Amino acid sequence: MTFEYIDIEDPVFRANCQERNEEDYVLVRCNDYASVPINIPNWTPKPVCLSRRFERVAQTIKQMEVRPDDVWIVTYPKSGTTWAQELIWLVCNEFDFQKAQDIPLDARFPFIELSGLRDLPETINPLQDALQMPSPRFIKSHLPPAFLPNALWSVQPKMVYVRRNPKSVAVSYYHHSVSLHCYNGTLDQFIRSMMNELVYYSPFHQHLIEYSELRYPNMLSLCYEDMKRDLPGTIERVCRFYNKPFTGEQVTRLADHLSFDRMRQNASVNRSEWVEFNLKQTNRADKLHDNNMRFIRQGQTDGWRKELSEELIEAMDRWTLERVPPSSKYARLFQ
């Protein structure tokens, strides 16, 4: 059996899932991982927190055709995926700002497993869109390596991985879960679930570690904090990675286009329609102007300092220390 779906026994989850309106999580184990080129001795991928809906896309993704000129981005959710997608798409499309404006990012750069997470209107099928897209295709996923197509590891098209500080990811993920998944628990409860590895795509640390250990020369690793510190420098790195020529003027214009304020106003990338639809559907139209409900929300590297209690900060630090001791070569991934 390629995929096994395992019910969650965790008593805290079971006792609270209804009240908190948690997703109908299950753990999914992938048993077909022999083709993944990874430098972790005796690697057995851990089960991942997903839902039974994942069955709708699991095999199709695993067996999908991969093309040498595909452009892949993979991240753990809330790590700056959208920001990096817009950057990559523009670099790979001769800085065609007009087309980027005219076609929503989700159509230009489909999120392949989305219908495995939530029920979508019948007309929306990002996986089919990706399968049928003319080359070069732009493909987004949050899946860990074992769940990606087997052909990826032999074809090895260029792939970008983006990581972000765990505390920023956790806070951003909480707000995303409230606005788009109707999560009903508190920030504290959400983060404790994340530390318990019971939110979509957990375990978090494993995700970053596995991608850092892939033997995949065609991979560029970015991090959200570097993008914040030096966006023009990141744009130049991405141009070099894709062998795309660039001028200083193009880099400046793209950096301006990708600034937080511009992205926030840009209807092609800010998913405001999606958020609005969701809030109205769930009788929360009064939240339409709440900044935390926006997809492009705060865009900071240390916003968590204001949102997390001392106790939660300590708990999160302990969580990382338990999974990744400071002496470990992986510690740098979680700073």
Of 79 and 177, CB closest to ligand A3P:
79
Gap between the Cα atoms of 111 and 57, Å rounded: 12
In the numeric block, which tokens belong to residue 229? 């510190």
- Minimum CB separation from ligand A3P for residue 1, in Å? 31
Name the β-bridge partners of 158.
Answer: 71
Q: Contacts with ligand A3P in 151-180 (CB under 6 A)?
A: 168, 172, 175
> CB under 6 A: which stretch of 9-17, 20-28, 243-251, 294-302 binds ligand A3P?
294-302
Residue 45 contacts residue 210 (beta carbons within 8 Å): yes
Q: Does position 62 bind ligand A3P by CB under 6 A?
A: no
Q: Does position 299 bind ligand A3P by CB under 6 A?
A: yes
Q: Does position 138 bind ligand A3P by CB under 6 A?
A: no
> CB under 6 A: which stretch of 66-74, 76-84, 131-139, 184-192 binds ligand A3P?
76-84
Gap between the Cα atoms of 257 and 29, Å rounded: 40
- Contacts with ligand A3P by CB under 6 A: the residue count is 19
Q: What angle (nearest 5°) sits at the alpha carbon of residue 304, between those of residues 300 and 305?
A: 110
Q: Does position 298 bind ligand A3P by CB under 6 A?
A: yes
CA 187, 188, 189, 194 dihedral sign is positive
E strands, the chain, where?
Answer: 3-6, 25-30, 48-51, 71-75, 138-141, 158-163, 219-223
Q: Does position 83 bind ligand A3P by CB under 6 A?
A: yes
Gap between the Cα atoms of 235 and 227, Å rounded: 9
Q: Does position 36 bind ligand A3P by CB under 6 A?
A: no
Binding string, residues 254-283; x marks residues near ligand A3P by CB under 6 A: ----x-x--x--------------------
Q: With H, G, I as helix, E, B as strand and everything else as coil, classify residue 115.
A: helix
Q: Exactly one of 66, 117, 180, 296 binds ligand A3P (CB under 6 A); which one?
A: 296
Of 75 and 278, CB closest to ligand A3P:
75
